[in-house]
A and B are shown apart, each in its own frame.
Chain A
């Protein structure tokens, strides 16, 4: 058990250095992997919300060709969800309908879309896009004050570190859709004119 304490100390110091060195190499290796940093948690939550919203909205019958035709979720412009939304679509159905995710680049691609997400990156032409949707039954979901001001329907709002949402019920009904009372109850804010 008795060993030269000096050599032992040296050996332990070397071993400790080795452990630390390995740790640093590991850190470096890991940081290089950062490039593929995936979608932020916020957009994972928002993707899950989009799927949930679709469950709580009744579209007019003419929005679908038949009972099995897919429910189409459109993402305007840049897709902030990564592959998250596609993964949800692949794994789930809504009332027996498959879910299809479509990337939309111009207003004319919107035909056939049931739910359209407009990221804050599109803020500059949000009014333009929304006005192009007049007379259609597309549930619009956005994430900015501008979106709501321009007549958007469901708007994500951040409350501290949580994602909540506001609903413009007037706009939803004006476009011929019905949103369930259950979802309305959970919204942080509902715009609904009392004059009917």
Chain B
């Protein structure tokens, strides 16, 4: 349902039927463009970015291919206001508008309409989303709340990863990439036609990374080996119907460094743990257009995965069903509404330093939403009002309304403003995980007993909430130059923070315990702006400049470690050269951030990333590319892990890729 939900209000694929009938919209296209319009494609013409009342950016397959991007988090670096900080070869903090964290939890991410938010630890397991990068059609990034449509956890942003239809991946593809960081990683894909309008593809991919480096430039232990396979079937029996069935499964072997504290001798160990993770999903979707102004979609999926974090194993099984209906009401209203149900089963097992106050759960989430897109002045002023209403087993009913106003004074510029509320529900580990943060051996303890420092889960946590005020302006200054600016003021309430450390001399236990509990105790705000400029210098040379500014005002010290860079900037260039060559590059600046590990505060200095690549289309079917990545510095750190004091850094590297279509 990704593209359908996406189509409702916020993103670039939003349908626009109330203000323009499709025929008149088509009339604005040139003959060349008309020649490429598909008669079977849904009548939802892609709305120009100009018409979205939200801070939306789209990363295309072309951007990914040209810049030699190998993972989804690296692709997200292209969007201003998204902070991507790599922790090791398989972990990233991806956050929007602040709150950097290994488990950055205020962001909702979907792959083809399937939520990949992990309720167990909060956040996204990025290693588990290592799709063949060639299969990605586009990534839509909405900065700011999307909760009125997507519900809980779509607090600071929504990322929609949309893969290609099987129709667009016909034939065979072999892609091999490798370099100074990675052993060759290989993707094999084959797509064919089973019957008229019935297409399929199947793929297999192996990722093999040697890992990054330590701050001394030595090889770090974070090896990643991952194998995955999957497929997709698309059937378009009529112009108005689309059926999709898709699935993936993966197995991963990840090595991570751990600081392990336990109550018994030797109290502390640092070692490299090997995690075995696995997962899989299957999704079916039916979308039907009754007419240009009315459509429905039904989507269901089943997803399960096992994730090991610091040797504590979490298993999550999800069944989800959603239905969504869009129709025009009168000449001015476009109504979208939907219902959803999600059933999640979770099961956790403890490790040396994580124990659980409750290990299993069976949760039910019911949701519905209603949205009205009201055309106040045709083609000029549009108001979108909507809200999600959902019920979960922990915090009960949650309401997430939003109001968005879009003013399009001319076809080339638009101004938008929005007020929205969003919430984040507490994760299972925040509610139930008791984690040992440190142990003082009895021999060094004043009480003669071991001293144990713990953070305790809190089953009474409530949701964190946000009221966001946003304002944006876009202008196509000329045929070749466009600008986009978005500003925000976010007020957070009930943000989780650690309460005071309580001492409990425990006569019944052989040790004394200091513990802290997370509570909804902090209030604060953030404000900032993102700016993006695009310049088509010639038909063959394109430049993009991005800048993001972020300011966080929280009284809490612990949240300061998760604030994110104050300034981020990027300049990108893609240039077509003669002889079927392309020269592409990106330079990025990321400001310093405060971070912490188990052993203390860490200052992550600002850094510059410089990537340059040369791509040669040797024949119509064969593409060769070589990229120098992170050329500016020998190695740099981007963020820390809460599991270890070892900081893994990203070194300068060279990567090559051969892609063969036949």
Contacts and interface: CB of A to CB of B under 8 A. Distances in A.
B41 A41 contact: yes
A87 B39 contact: no
Contacts of A12: 343, 364
A48 B341 contact: no
Interface stretch (B30-38, B47-55, B119-127): B30-38
A34 interface: yes
B37 A26 contact: no
A161 B343 CA distance: 40
B39 A15 contact: no
Interface string B338-379: 011101000000000000000000001010000000000000
B294 A48 contact: no
Nearest to B26: A48
B58 interface: no
Contacts of B27: 47-48, 51-52, 88, 91-92
Interface residues of A, number: 45
B82 interface: no
A26 B291 contact: no
Interface in B451-509: 459
Nearest to B337: A26
Counting chain A CB atoms within 10 Å of each CB, the highest count among B29, B290, B294, B321 belongs to: B290
Interface string A16-32: 10011011001100110
Interface stretch (A78-86, A104-112, A135-143): A78-86
A113 B30 CA distance: 24
Contacts of A47: 23, 26-27
Contacts of B290: 30-31, 33-34, 37
B656 interface: no
B21 A163 contact: no
A139 to B, nearest CB: 15
A48 B34 contact: yes
A162 interface: yes
B239 interface: yes
Given A33-B327, A47-B23, A162-B39, A23 B364 contact: no
A188 to B, nearest CB: 9
Contacts of A44: 22-23, 26, 43, 292
A97 to B, nearest CB: 15
B29 A186 contact: no
A40 B239 contact: yes
Given A23-B298, A30-B290, A51-B27, A161 B39 contact: yes
A186 B30 CA distance: 11
Interface in A137-165: 158, 161-164
B40 interface: yes
Contacts of B294: 30, 33
Nearest to B23: A84
Nearest to A47: B23
B213 interface: no
Contacts of A183: 31
Counting chain A CB atoms within 10 Å of each CB, the highest count among B22, B29, B366 belongs to: B22
Interface string B496-525: 000000000000000000000000000000
Contacts of B626: none
B23 A81 contact: yes
Contacts of B35: 162-164, 186
Contact of B31 (A16, A20, A85, A186): A186
Contacts of A52: 27, 30-31, 34
A30 B328 CA distance: 12
A87 B38 CA distance: 21
B410 interface: no
B275 to A, nearest CB: 30
A161 B40 contact: yes
Contacts of A158: 39
Contacts of A162: 35-39
A38 interface: yes
B336 to A, nearest CB: 12
Contact of A83 (B21, B39, B291, B325): B21
Interface of B: 21-24, 26-27, 29-32, 34-41, 43, 239-240, 290-294, 296, 298, 321, 323, 325, 327, 339-341, 343, 364, 366, 459
Given A41-B39, A52-B34, 4 more contacts: A16-B341, A41-B40, A47-B26, A92-B27
Nearest 8 Cβ contacts at the A-B interface: A84-B23, A48-B26, A42-B39, A38-B291, A23-B323, A44-B23, A88-B27, A161-B38
Interface of A: 1, 12, 15-16, 19-20, 22-23, 26-27, 30-31, 33-34, 36-42, 44-45, 47-49, 51-52, 56, 81-85, 87-88, 91-92, 158, 161-164, 183, 186
12 contacts: A16-B343, A30-B327, A31-B290, A34-B291, A44-B292, A48-B29, A49-B34, A56-B31, A84-B23, A87-B24, A92-B27, A186-B32
